[in-house]
Amino acid sequence: MQYTDEQIEKMLQLKESIVDKMTKHQDELDFLQKNLDILDVVLKGSSFTKASSLPRKLEPSVDEMVKKEDTAEPIQIKKNKDGEVIANAFVTPEKISIIMNEGIGLTDEIPPLRSFFIERIIGEMKKIDSADVKNGKIDQSSVIDCVINKNGQAIREIIIKNYRQKERLDEIINTATWSLTRMLENSIK
């Protein structure tokens, strides 16, 4: 069957539109898959009860956590296997400060801190923020950022500025817990 130039042009436009939509959705699927993989690893590494059998408790919002900051306990970051506290996270509206416990002695060269936590998790959030800056949704000064403070070679504190959303706070705490636990395992090898 022969097609006119106009029909071919419309088919090419349709193909381009489909490819654009597939790319957009693939990025979203990749992001969701990364988070599912993290959850799978965390759940496999710990005994767990079906979520349906757990009592429901409402998580406090970021604002509620920050309002209680003066009296609230820090969020403990614990190893999955034995529950040892390896760091404490202090949350304010502007930043999350993850302060390592004394004697942990992790360096920023131990995987997966840079390759996973900083480049994939924080990097993906930074990419979204940069697009929001271009679209005028946020200022450049509101883009998420990560700073690592050290004592010599050892990490003393990881600061994440401009997280802005409860979902991001949850993801950062969860992936920091997973990453720090894996770093401890990798430092023993």
The most distant pair of C-alpha atoms in the chain lies apart, rounded to whole Å, by 76
Q: Which of 80, 87, 88, 77 is nearest to 42 (CA)?
A: 80
pLDDT at 179: 92
Strand partners, 110: none
How far CA 163 is from CA of 98, 126, 141, 143, 184, in Å, comes to 13, 10, 12, 8, 25
pLDDT for residue 45: 57
Coil, helix or strand at residue 172: helix
> Degrees (nearest 5) of the Cα angle 172, 174, 178?
110
Q: Could you give the CA distance from residue 141 to residue 128 in angstroms, rounded to a whole number?
A: 14
Q: Is the dihedral of CA 64, 69, 71, 73 positive or negative?
A: positive
User: 50 pLDDT exceeds 80?
Assistant: no
Please, is 50 exposed, middle or buried when counting C-beta atoms within 10 Å of its C-beta (0-12, 13-18, 19+)? exposed
Q: What integer pLDDT is reported at residue 104 of this predicted model?
A: 87
* Full-model pTM: 0.61
Q: Please indicate whether residue 117 or residue 71 has the higher confidence score (pLDDT).
A: 117
Mean pLDDT score, 121-134: 94
Amino acid sitting at position 168: R
